Amino acid sequence: MNPVGHDNPNGICTAGQESNCTGCTISGKLKCRFSVFDWLKFILLFSVFLVPGLIGMNRGGYSNQIAWMFVFWIFFFGFWEIKILCSHCPYYAKEGFLLECHANAGCPKFWKYNPAPINRWEKFQLVIGFSILFGYPIYFSIIGEQYLWAGLTALGTIVFFVILGRNTCSKCVNFSCIFNRVSKEVVDEYLKKNEVMRKAWEEAGYKIGND
């Protein structure tokens, strides 16, 4: 168990000192430490969807909608997604105003850390939010008759989620996210190391082991 400190009031190991990871039984199985390199890879992967989407909207005569798309992104990443997804993540447990993680690094932490798993209503909101986020440029590219760019944007979306699922979601510590693919065995071991999170998950109905 990670010791509680002023920068880690919940004793979450991901938010604690890396020196406490010595001898960890699940070392290497999770992306449980912030890496600027991982974050830059995420940004590059996201651009596979973003770039053709922006081109399609601009060529289709809807460049004025690009500003509104970014307004939604600011709202989504800065307020909405942070509340329903990121606030449940062990990365969020670390003290500080800005989030450090391999996806949303730099986003403000307006909400209190919630160690419990994401509930069904929050998962439904995530589906809605991601549908708007990724569907926006595809929609305006289509009505602007930029079918090639709409197709490339849709393909970029698929590539984004496939690669993200294989390389990131399969090791992400935000276990209750709808895209998370970490095995139950690893989740159980992580929860055993983090009492605050384990208690919140068990209160929500989660059972460690095969029971």
Which element (helix H / strand E) includes 83? Answer: helix 81-84
Angle (nearest 5°) at CA 50 between 103 and 161: 55
Residue 17's pLDDT band (cuts 50, 70, 90): confident
pLDDT in tens, 117-167: 999 999 999 999 999 999 999 999 999 999 999 999 999 999 999 999 999
Is 3 within the bounds of a domain? no
Which element (helix H / strand E) includes 122? Answer: helix 120-143
Is 10 within the bounds of a domain? no
Is 210 within the bounds of a domain? no
pLDDT in tens, 194-207: 999 999 999 999 99
What is the pTM for the complete model shown? 0.88
Q: What are phi and psi of 194, to 5 degrees?
A: -135, 95
Q: How many domains does the chain have?
A: 1
Is 190 within the bounds of a domain? yes
Residue range of the domain that includes 59: 33-203
Write the CB contacts of 152 (distance below 8 Å, at least 6 apart in sequence).
52, 56
pLDDT in tens, 22-80: 778 888 899 988 989 999 999 999 999 999 999 999 999 999 999 999 999 999 998 99
Q: What is the DSSP letter of 116?
A: S
Q: Is residue 18 within 8 Å of residue 94, measured between CB atoms?
A: no
